[in-house]
Amino acid sequence: MDPDISEAQISTLVDAFYTKVRHDPEIGPIFNAVVDDWPYHLAVLKDFWSSILLATGRYKGNPMMRHLQLGLDPQHFERWLSLFAETACETFPPEGAALVVEKSRRIAQNLQSVTASTRV
């Protein structure tokens, strides 16, 4: 467990990031069209990031399948990553932010690879 990352910070990150996403003109409409219960979705995302960053094992879903259904293009991933990195830097000290951003980039690469392979 990284001492620079806490459950409270993860909660702040997820809340702040998805507030930005929901209002973003590029990716907001995509997410707002598929998420009909934002409080529930945010709780799931907090479990996901807790599992990724703190190895809590709280998340029990399949993020690949969920994201395949969105029809995201490379520019959508870039916008998501940009907003996520911005929010991580606002939420964590530099070392923690770097770790969180690196994890998000790896996840995005995996999602993009799967998304691209299903379009071929």
Please spell the DSSP secondary structure of 68-85, one letter per residue: HTTT--HHHHHHHHHHHH
Residue 80 CB partners (closer than 8 Å, separation 6+): 21, 27, 72, 108
pLDDT the model gives residue 22: 97
The domain locations on the chain are 7-119
Q: What is the pLDDT along the chain (120 residues), one digit of tens a residue?
A: 455 799 999 999 999 999 999 999 999 999 999 899 999 999 999 999 999 999 999 998 776 656 556 667 788 889 999 999 999 999 999 999 999 999 999 988 887 776 666 554
The residue assigned the tokens 């990716």 is 27
pLDDT the model gives residue 91: 97
Fold type of domain 7-119? Globin-like (1.10.490)
pLDDT the model gives residue 108: 86
Residue 67 CB partners (closer than 8 Å, separation 6+): 111, 114, 115
Instruction: Return the structure tokens found at 54.
Output: 């703190």
